[in-house]
Amino acid sequence: MKINHCLIACSFAIAPYTFSQKLEAKNISVNTDPIEQSNKLEEEGVKKWRTKNNHGAIKDYTEALKLNPKNVGALFGRAYSKWELKDYEGAHSDFNKILKTEPDKIHLYTLHNLSLLNFETKNFEEGVEITTKLISQNFQLNNSYTNRGLYKENLGDAKGACADYRKGSENGNDIASLRVKESCEPNVFKAFEKKTKNNMIMNRARKKYALGDGKGSCEDYQLAKSNGYVPPKKHKLFYKVFTDPYCFFRTI
């Protein structure tokens, strides 16, 4: 399913967690301690980030991490700058490094950011796992339930998605309430269930195609078609002229 960016923007009303500079800059006459040098470079990175110089910020954060690989602030800052540059995989990697660096801590805002990034990287399984952790910590339940519902919808779990949309609605999320009305009421649920299944099949087809499995991708496309899948209007000509005959010859 191509994700509706307006829906995502509305659903995730909470802005991604940002960070502030340290309350006090350290006065260091002779700055030879690698930890202190790392902290100063992190602060320089924050300054550059605030002026939208994300490339410069990433450079400072990377130097800070060379001096102190456990500098969580630098990791978070670099992840956020990569995110703003649309390097979603790089941001995802850095946020995960925070979790590995301090495995005994519950980094709620790091998890929250990962829960958003997983839409960009289409890692829906991990999205369910992370939002479940957030829900277990009672973190922003209105958004966390709604986000998990969106992940489940992409994984073909219509019943699970609707259960989460109802929870999101109960916790005051307007988008979740709209989803319940449009997709989860008895008179519309069957159509939603069918659409959700097709979205899951097509997501799987795209993954197979990206991995070079053209035959498997086409088989999934044909399976979705047999279940009533209709390509989005903007892709309809492509599917009709190229994809259909291509898949026909690939699957015989």
Could you tell me the residue range of the domain that residue 92 belongs to? Answer: 5-17+32-189
Q: Tokens for 121, please give them.
A: 């990287």
- What angle in degrees, to the nearest 10, is found between the helix axes of 158-170 and 186-210? 120
- Cβ–Cβ under 8 Å, residues 60 and 42: yes
- Cβ–Cβ under 8 Å, residues 14 and 140: yes
pLDDT per position as a tens digit, 87-99: 999 999 999 999 9
Domains identified in the chain, total number: 2
pLDDT per position as a tens digit, 200-251: 998 898 888 888 898 898 899 889 988 888 877 776 666 666 677 777 666 5
pLDDT per position as a tens digit, 109-134: 999 999 999 988 888 999 999 999 99
Quick one: 83 exposed, middle or buried, by C-beta within 10 A (0-12, 13-18, 19+)? buried
Q: Global pTM?
A: 0.75
pLDDT per position as a tens digit, 43-81: 999 999 999 999 999 999 999 999 999 999 999 999 999
Please tell me the distance from the alpha carbon of residue 180 to that of residue 63, in angstroms, as a whole number.
48
Same domain, 58 and 136: yes
Same domain, 179 and 204: no
The answer to whether residue 26 is domain-embedded is no
Please tell me the distance from the alpha carbon of residue 74 to that of residue 62, in angstroms, as a whole number.
8
> Helix (H, G, I), strand (E, B), or coil: what is residue 241?
helix
Q: Tokens for 40, please give them.
A: 């100063």
Same domain, 60 and 141: yes
The upper half-sphere exposure of residue 149, i.e. CA atoms within 13 Å in the direction of its Cβ, equals 29
Residue 165: which of 157, 155, 154, 150 has the closest Cα? 150
